[in-house]
Copies of this chain bind each other. A is one copy, B any other.
């Protein structure tokens, strides 16, 4: 993951702003029928006919949301798109377009930005979204990425955070905690590299969790799966900050409580073994780790037969009345209050 510093380098200032934009956007293809006009004018023009649109946006800052010393630029570009598509899927919508704004300092040669865009374009291609606009500018502060995503959905299919009812089942996709433990491993390797740059890291036992951190995949497939199963969740949210924090969002916005069962939380064996190695409690990591980009939803009890046994969907608890509160039911059957211990970027020291 250490970049080759000897590759050929082109100064971005040689191209100029318009030259850079032309260079980066010339390979963008339009595939969505709803895209009437992509890049190249004051704004993109889109047509969704009778569908509703969903709109979401995210801002990623070097040194706060990513560290280029262990995140390859191509992966960073890919992940920046995933973060936004995940929000679109959490509305039960299909993602259709993104805009990409990048600010970068002169320390980045053209080839670095091409790497970043290669990741963005790969994500757009894999997820069938058009890149329809954006902004490229200079920065005196490293790399900043701002992506907005648009999706389309029939009005009756929109799923908000606020529709959960008491007795609904709490369901999560995939498994949790991997992205955070992947980050822990990468941070450790960075420290080792500082001490001995010739040390080749032994990352084989961590491939799954490192991929969860560096190349997460948004759950486009789940929106399709739910449609095929004829299940409309009563509420849904994506897991960016950690399971605990997201459950609290659903409960507060739906005005319900919940019982989450510790022994039901899906964990990959690599997460469990790495947690043991780092002497961290794996439940705590699943609850607070963040960046998993799985979907958390509630479904009615009536829909249980439809989701039962599906390898993508795990029932981890059920909703209760608001006054019953939000609880984790531990393996030894103790009930403890759920707390949002998710990654809270604003309380980090500067």
Contacts and interface: CB of A to CB of B under 8 A. Distances in A.
Contacts of A345: 17, 137-138
Contacts of A101: 57-59, 146
A149 B59 CA distance: 15
Nearest to A89: B42
A133 interface: yes
Q: How many copies of the shown chain assemble into the complex?
A: 2
A107 interface: yes
A224 interface: no
B42 A90 contact: yes
Nearest to A160: B41
A228 interface: no
A348 interface: yes
Interface in A258-301: none
**Chain A contact residues, majority secondary structure:** mixed
A126 interface: no
Interface string A137-162: 11111101010111101010010111
Interface stretch (A43-51, A183-191, A193-201, A204-212): A43-51
Given A90-B43, A97-B55, A347 B13 contact: yes
A308 interface: no
A161 B41 contact: yes
Nearest to A149: B43
A55 B99 contact: yes
Contact of A346 (B42, B56, B59, B137): B137
Given A144-B61, A148-B99, A91 B45 contact: yes
A3 to B, nearest CB: 20
Contacts of A88: 42-43
Contacts of A48: 48, 53
Contact of A138 (B58, B64, B160, B237): B64
Contacts of A52: 36, 45-47
A12 interface: yes
B99 A61 contact: no
A50 B48 CA distance: 8
A152 B90 CA distance: 25
A155 B16 contact: no
Contacts of A53: 45-48, 53
Contacts of A348: 138
A137 B103 contact: no
A69 interface: no
Interface centre among A50, A88, A91, A141 (most CB of B within 10 A): A141
Interface of A: 12-13, 15-18, 20, 36-37, 40-50, 52-59, 61-65, 86-88, 90-91, 93, 97, 99, 101-103, 105-107, 132-142, 144, 146, 148-151, 153, 155, 158, 160-162, 236-238, 253, 340, 344-350
Given A16-B347, A47-B53, A137-B346, 5 more contacts: A42-B87, A42-B90, A55-B97, A55-B132, A105-B350
Q: Which 5 pairs show the lowest CB-CB distances between chains A and B?
A: A141-B141, A43-B56, A146-B146, A42-B90, A43-B54
16 contacts: A12-B346, A18-B340, A41-B161, A41-B253, A42-B237, A43-B88, A45-B158, A46-B52, A47-B52, A55-B97, A56-B99, A57-B101, A59-B144, A65-B137, A138-B348, A138-B350
